[in-house]
Amino acid sequence: MQPVRNIVVLTGAGVSAESGIATFRGPGGLWEGHRVEDVCTPAALRADPALVHRFYDLRRAALGGVAPNAAHHALAALDRAWPGGLLIVTQNVDDLHERAGATRLLHMHGALLSALCAACGVRTAHAGALPPGSRCAACGAAALRPDIVFFGEMPYAMDRIVDAIGGCDLFVSVGTSGAVYPAAGFVEWANDRGAATLELNLERSAGSDRFDESRLGPAGELVPAWVDELLRERR
């Protein structure tokens, strides 16, 4: 096998589970009692903006009570230490990767601590509640919405993701069920490109068969062990 130089890490809700943030499809998760169609589609936002804004207000407020776990810290340590290419692509909208110190990071499904202007498309940092009708500082329209990529919308930065996977030698997926595309298809892109592929997940996922190797267990144990192994091999 070629020595690893360029790495892409995809993370999902499982990486934040040990921090106390519920996953979507696990027991007790499931969108905190809401149906996806009611809170995470453009149609839901049009039909009941108060409900959709409140759903994300609660999730934004909950960030104050959680902290990065060992998996976030290990990925941030990898980011600091890895001399080659690295891109951490997260599907998560929490800020735990950046709080741990990761910088080579991209939020493909948006971010709770950001607001998106539906009128002009500008994204601005936003903490606290975001009531419907909040005004955009850039264009003045009363059109700010949660900066969350809803089902049916295009994830952010797909061109950067395509480039990074197209140039990686190792693709690692952490804590994602492999249920939602396009992220669920990244492992195939990595396989097509000839990269090694590794899954770190609590249980077998919809995509497990597509990885060269699948390690099962909590991210808080598996990710630090994998990062140690990688950095040790590098020395």
**Residues near ligand APR (CB under 6 A):** 12-14, 17-18, 23-26, 29, 91, 109, 175-177, 179-180, 201-203, 205, 218-219
Residue of closest CB approach to ligand APR? 14
Cis peptide leading into residue 182 (ω within 30°): yes
Structure tokens at 1: 């096998």
Quick check: 123 and 147 in contact, CB under 8 A? yes
Quick check: 173 and 207 in contact, CB under 8 A? yes
109 is catalytic: yes
For ligand APR, the closer of residues 136 and 146 by Cβ is: 146
Least Cβ distance, residue 202 to ligand APR (angstroms): 3
Beta strands in 15-169 (DSSP E): 86-90, 105-107, 110-117, 123-125, 144-148
Least Cβ distance, residue 146 to ligand APR (angstroms): 12
C-alpha of 195 from chain center: 21
Least Cβ distance, residue 219 to ligand APR (angstroms): 4
Q: For 127-130, which contacts have Cβ atoms below 8 Å and span 24 or more sequence positions?
A: 127/60, 128/60, 129/53, 129/57, 129/60, 129/61, 130/53, 130/56, 130/57, 130/60
For ligand APR, the closer of residues 6 and 91 by Cβ is: 91
For ligand APR, the closer of residues 111 and 165 by Cβ is: 111
Number of helices (H) and strands (E) in the chain: give both, helices first.
9, 9
Residues 6+ apart with CB under 8 A from 181: none
Residues 6+ apart with CB under 8 A from 206: 177, 178, 179, 184
Least Cβ distance, residue 184 to ligand APR (angstroms): 8
Least Cβ distance, residue 220 to ligand APR (angstroms): 6
For ligand APR, the closer of residues 6 and 156 by Cβ is: 156
7 - beta bridge partners?
86, 170
For ligand APR, the closer of residues 6 and 23 by Cβ is: 23
Quick check: 71 and 223 in contact, CB under 8 A? yes
Kindly list the catalytic residues: 109
